[in-house]
Homo-oligomer: A and B are copies of this chain.
Amino acid sequence: MSSSSVNLKAVPGRLTSSYSEVQASRLDVSLPLPSVLKSSFSVVDGPKSSAAGNPEEIAKLFPNLFGQPSAVLNPGGSSVLSKDTSLKIGVVLSGGQAPGGHNVISGIFDYLQHRTSGSTVYGFKGGPAGIMKGKYVELSAEFVYPYRNQGGFDMIASGRDKIETPEQFKQAEETAKTLDLDGLVVIGGDDSNTNACLLAEHFRGKNIKTLVIGCPKTIDGDLKSKEVPVSFGFDTACKLYSEMIGNVMTDARSTGKYYHFVRLMGRAASHITLECALETHPNITIIGEEVAAKKQTLKSVTDYITDIICKRSELGFNYGVILIPEGLIDFIPEVQQLIAELNEILAHDVVDEAGVWKKKLQSQSHELFEFLPPTIQEQLLLERDPHGNVQVAKIETEKMLLQMVETELDKRKQEGKYKRDFLGKTHFFGYEGRCGLPTNFDANYCYALGFGAGALLHSGKTGLISSVGNLAAPVEQWTVGGTALTSLMDVERRHGKFKPVIKKAMVELEGAPFKKFASFRDEWALKNRYVNPGPIQFLGPAANAINNTLLLELGAQA
């Protein structure tokens, strides 16, 4: 073993003796498996694959992997997978937490325990950096146990480093050789899975035996395709946020005097916001992708909200709940333009108190800047990242919209068009949703993803993402397989070079979830159709419910 490798002591960071009753009750739950994973199976290849876009470029970037078929596990058949095989498998968590990550790892671990003999699983610590630095822990049944069906990524911790430079690929190669790795499972989002595929390509190109399989992780729900119907963690996160939103709705209705502006985590895409809307039926929901498609301005979004508030007031309702996606600002072209101009001006000029600097803004940007509430203007000018750029992510969009709505209502009040006092409250639901105990769905789904990843590695596959399908059916009927990562890719031009990317799946305005939302939102706006989803249940009739987005996309009733 190379001296750079650090095998950390296999002591779990958690003590089950201090677990809450609910945590403890989840530890020994025996998870259902898709029936194909319960007895012998064969791994069958599909047709040759292509790419999501620019197949010629993807072919050039992945000469050894491009075109490889997706694989599916079929029950029975003459399995070539020997139980006598002994595999050395690494696993790594990459990027932000999502409920269920621990179950993917226990799925991989259990697969190897049941289907191979004498296999070893190494958990790389702290994300991809753990691969590069050779920092890992060897998993044992005792080590894995406290994390079964538990939230968080702390079993081996995650990280945001990427394996990008030639030196970093070399380091990963070293670790793979040192540990004699047969395979590596990368649990991550779009970037991490692109990275996994580059690593698979690298290993195959250099004739290194290490296979690489990805797993679709992100609460944001923006990593999905036909064969990968949903990323894990989305279900739990949406249900946690919806519990809180439902409570805030009940509060709004009971109190009768507050408008709650709720911003929801989820990065650029509005999947979480849309799902929470489908679960709870808020009065107003802003979907970033629609704002972009309709080329809306901040003013038009503000007017849309204000109009509904005024109409509700006429109906006697002076309260309500408004959902706002974290990524809203990124969808408004005029805001992007303003920020670009600000970055330029602030890099070269002094911002004088008297505001002479504003003359450097183009007229549309100047107008927008003046339209913004003073606190937001201040944030734009003062909060800068280390490169001197405006930190868009730090802008509290819910507070910004609340202030703009207040200003607009004041105006209408003076014009006699609105007569009430307006009281707003703001919320941001984010971190509390990334690490909850996984729902039954996420627990089962992740366990199957991990089991499937083990099967793919066992059968010699590389450059695939573990894919589990038919999710609207009972777990026993779920399908298990792997999708060629190159088939999910397109290229982007960066610094004059083509770079492979798995395109983020955004909310489709023609998709079933948005269409269902769009068909109901006017009713939800003026009538109060609030739903309180309540806390996530692990037992009882509601425990196995699946999120609306997934069901609708699968063509099932939601």
Contact = CB atoms under 8 A, between A and B. Distances in A.
A507 interface: no
A540 B25 contact: yes
B19 A531 contact: yes
B251 A435 contact: yes
A529 interface: yes
Interface stretch (A2-10, A238-246, A299-307, A445-453): A238-246
State the 9 A-B residue pairs at the shortest beta-carbon distance, nearest first: A22-B534, A21-B542, A535-B535, A250-B435, A152-B250, A153-B254, A251-B435, A244-B432, A535-B536
Interface string A1-41: 00000000000010000111111011000000000000000
A162 B151 CA distance: 46
Nearest to A256: B157
A245 to B, nearest CB: 8
A421 to B, nearest CB: 11
Chain A interface size, under 10 / 10 to 19 / 20 to 34 / 35 or more: 35 or more
Given A22-B533, A158-B254, A425 B431 contact: yes
Interface of A: 13, 18-23, 25-26, 97, 126, 150-154, 157-158, 240, 243-244, 246-248, 250-251, 253-256, 258, 260, 279, 281, 425, 427, 431-437, 528-529, 531-542, 545
A435 B253 CA distance: 10
Contact of A431 (B151, B248, B529, B531): B248
A220 to B, nearest CB: 15
A151 B246 CA distance: 10
A254 B534 contact: no
Contacts of A20: 246, 279, 531-534, 542
B251 A431 contact: yes
12 contacts: A13-B528, A18-B281, A19-B532, A25-B540, A25-B542, A151-B247, A248-B435, A251-B431, A427-B432, A437-B532, A437-B534, A537-B537
